[in-house]
Amino acid sequence: MQTESADRCHQVVIIGGGSAGITVAASLLRRRPELDVAIVEPSSQHYYQPAFTLVGGGTYALDNTRRAIRDVVPKGATLIQAAVTALAPDDNAVQLDDGQRLGYSQLVMVPGIKLDWGRVDGLAATLGKNGVCSNYSPGTVRYTWQCLDAFSGGNAIFTQPPPLKCAGAPQKIAYLAADHVKRKGLGDKSTLKFYSGGGALFSVPAFVPPLERVARRHGVEVILSHDLVAVDGERKVATFEMQNAEGEKTRVEQDFDLLHVTPHQCAPDFIAQSPLAGAGGWVEVDKATTQHVRYPNVFSLGDASSLPTSKTLAAVRKQAPVTVKNLLANIDGKALTAQYDGYTSCPLVTDYGRVMIAEFIYDGVVTPTLPLDPFKETRFYWWVKKHFLPAFYWKQMLTGREWDIAHKPRKTS
C-alpha cells in the first residue's frame, strides 16, 4: 500500500503533535504496542491551550501550559520534526518541508486550525503593542494580562470572528476583564464592548439567554454581525464591517484603549489545496466514524477536521477513542463500528471564580456529564477548569488513558 517513491514509510503517520495527535498516538500504542507510529510536528513545544484564557486573565502561568514535545510523544512512537507542505493521498505519501517524502499505510490528519492574523489590515504590525492583545497564541497571551493590569479606564473592546476554535474563549476574556475592572474600582470610567462577526452570542440557542444575563451583569455591550477588518494601533482605532439583509456593507470605527483580538481562523492551506479537502477546506470525514469520505486509510479529528461540531479539546477527547478503534478495525479489515456523537464542551469562565460548562452533541442537544444545572455558574466548575482539567489532560488524556463519564441528554427547561 505504501508508495515506492517515498524516502521512508511508517504504518501510521500522524500529522500534528498537538492535543489530537499525541492523544491518538498514545491510545494506539496502548492498544497495540507493536504498531509503527510516526508523528510529524514542526514545533519543539506542546501547549494546553484551554488555560490560555486564565493566563490572559493573570491567574495561571504560561509555563504551566507547555511541555517539550519530546516529553509528550509516547514511548514507541517516532517523532519527525518537520512540517507537512503537501499531501498526495493517491500515492499514500506526504511531502515534508525538509525535502523528504513520507509514505504511510494509515494517515491521521490533525494539524489544527490556521490563525489568519493577516486577514485584518494592520493587525500583525500592532499586535503585542498599543494595547492590542490576544489570548490565541502563546507569544501574545501574556501581553493580554499586561494590558488588563495596566488598564486605567476607557474603552475595552473584544472581538470574535466566525468560525473559530473554542467559540466561548473570546467571551471568557471579556467577562474576566469586566470582573477585573470592577474589582479595581474602574467600572464608572470604563466601557466594555463585545463585537462578534456572527449573528448570535453562542452557537447553541439554549446557552444564549444565560450568557446574555452574564454580559448584562458585567455591563458588557454585545454587538453582533460586526466583523473586525482593520486596526490602526497608533490611532487606537478598530474598524468593523457589517452587512445588512440586502448584502450592503458598511464600516464603523471604534476607539479603544484595550483591544483583545480573536484572529480569523481557517483550514491550513496545505489541506485546503489537497484532494483531502471538502467544503471550507477542512479534511472531509464521516461525522460518525471520523474516516475520510474518499480515502478509507485517512482519518481526521480535532480542529482540522470537517466534523460539524464546535472545535474544542473536549471534543478531541471524545473523538480520539472513536478514531483509534476505527483505524485499528480498518487495519484488520473489519467494519468500523465506533461512532462519535458530536460531543463538545466549553467551560465558559464568567468571572474570577465561576464557570458555566456548556456541553452538547450534534444538533445542539445539551448533554451534561454531571447531574448539575448546565446553565448555572459555579465555583466547583472553576476548580474543574483551573485545576482538574489540566491535570487530567497531562496525566490521562495525553497518555492514552480513556477514563470517561458518559454524557447524557437532559431536560433543559
Ligand X SMILES: Cc1cc2nc3c(=O)[nH]c(=O)nc-3n(C[C@H](O)[C@H](O)[C@H](O)COP(=O)(O)OP(=O)(O)OC[C@H]3O[C@@H](n4cnc5c(N)ncnc54)[C@H](O)[C@@H]3O)c2cc1C
Candidates 2, 43, 100, 225; binder of ligand X (CB under 6 A) is 43
Q: What size, in residues, is the chain?
A: 413
Of 98 and 255, CB closest to ligand X = 98
CA 237 vs CA 84, 229, 256, 262, 372: distances in Å: 38, 11, 6, 16, 43
* Start-end of H helices in 66-184: 69-72, 123-126, 141-150, 169-183
Please give the Cα distance from 153 to 159 (Å, whole number): 19
Q: Which stretch binds ligand X (CB under 6 A): 11-19, 117-125, 181-189, 221-229?
A: 11-19
- Binder among 107, 110, 132, 355 for ligand X (CB under 6 A): 110
Kindly give the pairing relationship between strand 190-196 and strand 154-160.
Answer: parallel
Confirm whether 133 is a catalytic residue: no
78 binds ligand X (CB under 6 A): no
| Residue 40 binding ligand X, by CB under 6 A | yes
Site string for ligand X, 324-353 (x = CB under 6 A): ----------------------xx------
Q: Which of the 8 DSSP states describes residue 165?
A: B
Q: Burial letters for 112-141: b for 16+ Cβ neighbours within 10 Å, e otherwise? A: bbbbebebbebbeebbbebbbbbbbebebb
How near is the Cβ of 390 to ligand X at its closest, in Å? 10
166 is catalytic: yes
Exactly one of 268, 321, 342, 374 binds ligand X (CB under 6 A); that residue is 268
| Complex with ligand X: residue 239 or 344, whichever CB lies closer | 344
Reduced to 3 states (helix: H, G, I; strand: E, B; else coil), residue 44 is: coil
Position 313 contacts ligand X (CB under 6 A): yes
The reply to whether 303 sits near ligand X by the rule CB under 6 A is yes
Q: Are the beta carbons of 276 and 293 closer than 8 angstroms?
A: no
Question: Considering beta carbons, is residue 148 or 166 the nearer one to ligand X?
Answer: 166
Please count the CA atoms within 13 angstroms of the CA of 180 that sit on its side-chain side: 24
Applying CB under 6 A, the span of 50-58, 326-334, 353-361, 395-403 interacting with ligand X comes to 50-58
Task: Please pick, from the candidates 27, 38, 41, 180, the single residue that binds ligand X as defined by CB under 6 A.
Answer: 41
| DSSP-assigned letter for residue 155 | E
Q: For ligand X, which residue of 9, 12, 13, 19 counts as binding (CB under 6 A)? A: 19
Q: Work out the angle between the directed axes of helices 313-331 and 19-31 (0-180°, nearest 10).
A: 40
Q: Are 155 and 257 in contact (CB under 8 A)?
A: yes
Q: Among 15-23, 101-109, 203-211, 289-297, which window interacts with ligand X (CB under 6 A)?
A: 15-23
15 binds ligand X (CB under 6 A): yes
Answer yes or no whether residue 111 interacts with ligand X by CB under 6 A. yes
Q: Is 89 in the site for ligand X (CB under 6 A)?
A: no
Which of the stretches 183-191, 242-250, 284-292, 310-318 binds ligand X when contact is defined by CB under 6 A?
A: 310-318
- For ligand X, the binding residue among 57, 74, 89, 112 (CB under 6 A) is 112
Residues that contact ligand X, how many (by CB under 6 A)? 37
Site for ligand X in 186-245 (CB under 6 A): none
**Selected range binding ligand X among 163-171, 246-254, 350-358, 364-372, rule: CB under 6 A:** 163-171
The answer to whether 263 contacts ligand X (rule: CB under 6 A) is no
Of all residues in the shown chain, the one whose CB is closest to ligand X is 18
Strands 258-260 and 154-160: parallel
User: Which residue, 112 or 131, has its beta carbon nearer to ligand X?
Assistant: 112
> Residue written as cell 448539575?
372
* Residue 25, all three cell numbers: 498516538
User: Judged by CB under 6 A, which stretch of 121-129, 212-220, 226-234, 300-308 contacts ligand X?
Assistant: 300-308
Nearest-CA neighbor of 228 among 217, 239, 242? Answer: 239
With beta carbons less than 8 A apart as the criterion, state whether 275 and 89 touch. yes
CA distance 152 to 190: 8
Residue 109 makes contact with ligand X by CB under 6 A: no
The rounded distance, in Å, linking the Cα atoms of 275 and 90 is: 9
The separation between the first and the last C-alpha atoms of the chain, rounded to the nearest angstrom, is 53
| Distance between CA atoms of residues 397 and 404, nearest Å | 10
Q: How far is the CB of 253 from ligand X (least distance, A)?
A: 26
Backbone φ and ψ for 313, nearest 5 degrees, come out as -70, -35
Name the residues annotated as catalytic: 166, 346
User: What is the binding site for ligand X (CB under 6 A)?
Assistant: 15-21, 40-43, 49-50, 52-53, 83-84, 110-112, 135-136, 165-166, 169, 268, 270, 302-304, 311-314, 316, 346-347
